[in-house]
Amino acid sequence: MKTLTPKAFASSGFRIVPLPTNVAEEARQAAQSGAADHVVIEVDSANGYPCRHCLRWAQPGERVILFPYAAIPAGHPYSETGPIFVHAERCDRYDATREYPEDFRNGRALRAYDARYNMVDAEVVNEGEPEQVIAKLFQNPKTEFLDARSVTRGCFTFRICRA
Ligand SMILES: [Zn+2]
């Protein structure tokens, strides 16, 4: 991996896809109405509760909603629903979509999927250079998108598409 500098690839190669705003809003409404699978949590650590909508760590004193999200929809061999957090209060959707989110430069695994949601590859982001891992995974023409997940707990964090 030497040809493409992170900055050059960041400006041309990929697009960050945070959780859609309507999904975050629906989770907030479900939590308010007392849905059993939507739990409001008081944040007690500075890097344990990543908000999938603004793509920042929720901070102590803030509240988040924990709920299940189908990152890979039902009906496929790799279908997967798992727990994610969003801020309980309204937050701004991450909009620097051509830049890898700074809060998650470490501690993520990137899973590559093809257009039919089959997992075709996966790599752990090490040394804080996710752009190089993204470039490498997108060199496979079968790769349609990447999902960034927690390397420890496996939870979906955000999607990365080709630019
Ligand atoms: Zn947020």
Q: What is the pLDDT of residues 89-105, one digit of tens each?
A: 999 999 999 999 999 99
For residue 47, the one-letter residue type is: N
117 in a structural domain: yes
E strands, the chain, are 14-17, 39-42, 50-51, 56-57, 63-72, 80-87, 108-113, 119-124, 145-150, 156-162
pLDDT at 91: 98
CA of 74 to the centre of ligand 1 (A): 26
Tokens 């752990």, located at residue: 124
Of 43, 40, 75, the closest CA to residue 60 belongs to 43
Total number of domains constituting the chain: 1
Tell me if residue 63 falls in helix, strand or coil: strand
Q: List the chain residues with pLDDT less than 70.
A: 1-12
Both tokens of 97, joined, read: 């979509």
pLDDT at 117: 98
CA of 41 to the centre of ligand 1 (A): 13
92 in a structural domain: yes
Instruction: Please state, in angstroms and rounded to a whole number, the distance separating the CA atoms of residues 89 and 98.
Output: 25
Whole-Å CA distances, 25 to 57, 88, 95, 133: 18, 9, 17, 32
pLDDT at 128: 75
pLDDT at 127: 73
CA of 142 to the centre of ligand 1 (A): 32
CA of 18 to the centre of ligand 1 (A): 10
1 in a structural domain: no
Q: What would you report as the CA-atom Rg of the chain, rounded to the nearest whole angstrom?
A: 16
pLDDT at 6: 54
pLDDT at 36: 98
90 in a structural domain: yes
Q: What is the pLDDT of residues 107-122, one digit of tens each?
A: 999 999 999 999 999 9
pLDDT at 7: 53
pLDDT at 12: 55
CA of 37 to the centre of ligand 1 (A): 19
CA of 61 to the centre of ligand 1 (A): 13
Instruction: Return residues with CB closer than 5 A to ligand 1 (ion).
Output: 51, 53-54, 87, 91
pLDDT at 10: 47
Domain membership of residue 73 as a residue range: 6-162
pLDDT at 5: 54
155 in a structural domain: yes
E strands, 10-144, are 14-17, 39-42, 50-51, 56-57, 63-72, 80-87, 108-113, 119-124
145 in a structural domain: yes
